[in-house]
Amino acid sequence: MKMTYGRLILAGLLTFTSLHSYASRVVTDQIGRQVTIPDEVDRVVVLQHQTLNLLVQLNATDKIVGILANWKQQLGDSYAQLVPELTHKAMLGDLTHVDLEQLVALHPQVVFVTNYAPKEMIDQISALGIPVLAISLRHDDAGQQGKINPTMQNEDQAYERGIKEGITLIGDVVNRPEQAQALIDAAFAGRKMVSDRLKNIPEQQRVRAYMANPDLTTYGSGKYTGLMMAHAGAFNVAAATVQGFKQVSMEQVVAWDPQVIFVQDRYPQVVQTIEHDPRWQTIDAVKNHQVWLMPEYAKAWGYPMPEAMGLGELWMAKKLYPQKFHDIDMQQQADHWYQRFYRTHYHDNAANSGSR
């Protein structure tokens, strides 16, 4: 028999009472909410894939008792091979909804959600006495914190501050502060290496690049993917006309005539389309065989991940300016990162798919 909402609230309050019989502390999440959580957190439910990926790298997988149901779709099929423990976790809800009965049964001490999770969803979980923390990995202006596509005065600064604050918060919540700082340091060390080597390239000499996704969608300005391209020394041809993530026309791509085309690792079919569709054959990148399927670790998502900054931007820069990074072995760099933060060796599962 299904539990009524009243019984759910009672069960939740019993959970809350047991949690708060221990010492507690107050933290502020990334949409500005002050939330009381236990001093020691050992049971978390994660309804955002970026936070799930960060918890794995913080070596806190054992604290996860429930995850979003579509985590494989969000993180890619190879993630299950990388972190097989996740296949045994309870699955419930997604970015914008959750099964409250399943949630209560897991007795979580904290639930992580995305910054644009509906207010009703956050309120329902909170009403059960379960602390909810919203993560954006951005430092947004007031009034913009709960949006998917916020208005940003300085998007580079918003994401740089935001990822530091987000990783620090998640690390503090699950009592992994040292691991969080190590992850932040590694991310920005990779970015510094790239910026140091590219600092003398004038803006007008930067390589024209395009991020190809299915159905002629691409990233312009206002998303981390565009910043990733900029940090790697690319001139994103879509930045001036596309805000966020949008579909463009084939005629527009032909007019942009990018010198390099990047494709996220989860879309190898896009590489095949580009290489065989006659409409693409006049574009410089296609004629010169500069269409690159990105490795799994690049994580060229709309939101930043530490390995995207520490490894992905470096990989991209090496493709754009091979002479400046001739001494960098990306397989070695990736393996070092994976051993350190995933506690396993890096295996390039897409090594034989598309142009590399």
Task: Dump pLDDT digits (tens) for 161-197.
Answer: 999 999 999 999 999 999 999 999 999 999 999 999 9
Question: Which single residue is written with the structure tokens 């097989």?
Answer: 84
Q: What is the pLDDT of residue 17?
A: 46
Residue 106 near residue 81, CB atoms below 8 Å: no
Burial class (CB in 10 A: 0-12, 13-18, 19+), 323: exposed
Q: What is the pLDDT of residue 8?
A: 56
Domains and CATH numbers, the chain: 5-175 (3.40.50.1980), 200-342 (3.40.50.1980)
Q: What is the pLDDT of residue 85?
A: 95
82 is written with which tokens?
Answer: 């990388």
279-325 pLDDT, tens digit each: 999 999 999 999 999 998 998 877 789 999 999 999 999 999 999 99
Q: Which among 174, 169, 183, 163 is positioned nearest to 341, based on CA atoms?
A: 183
The rounded distance, in Å, linking the Cα atoms of 105 and 349 is: 36
Q: Which among 261, 273, 245 is positioned nearest to 211, based on CA atoms?
A: 261
Give me the count of residues in the chain: 356
Q: What is the pLDDT of residue 347?
A: 83
Residue 295 near residue 348, CB atoms below 8 Å: yes
Walking along the chain (356 residues) 10 residues at a time, the average pLDDT comes out as: 52 50 87 96 97 97 97 86 94 94 97 95 97 90 68 78 96 98 97 95 94 94 88 96 92 98 92 96 97 92 88 97 96 96 83 40
Q: What's this model's pTM, rounded to 2 decimal places?
A: 0.86
Residues 6+ apart with CB under 8 A from 172: 27, 180
The rounded distance, in Å, linking the Cα atoms of 136 and 30 is: 6
What HEC string does the chain produce?
A: CCCCHHHHHHHHHHHHHHHCCCCEEEEECCCCCEEEEECCCCCEEECCHHHHHHHHHCCCHHHEEEECCCHHHHHCCHHHHHCHHHHHCEECCCCCCCCHHHHHHCCCCEEEEECCCCHHHHHHHHHCCCCEEEECCCCCCCCCCCCCCCCCCCHHHHHHHHHHHHHHHHHHHCCCHHHHHHHHHHHHHHHHHHHHHHCCCCHHHCEEEEEECHHHEEECECCHHHHHHHHCCEEECCCCCCECEEECCHHHHHHHCCCEEEECCCCHHHHHHHHHCHHHCCCHHHHCCCEEECCHHHCCCCCCCHHHHHHHHHHHHHHHCHHHHCCCCHHHHHHHHHHHHHCCCCCCCCCCCCCC
Q: What is the pLDDT of residue 356?
A: 40
Q: For residue 200, how many C-alpha atoms fall within 13 Å in the half-sphere facing its CB?
A: 2
Q: What is the pLDDT of residue 148?
A: 67
Beta bridge partners of 212: 263
Residue 52 near residue 137, CB atoms below 8 Å: no
287 is written with which tokens?
Answer: 């004629």
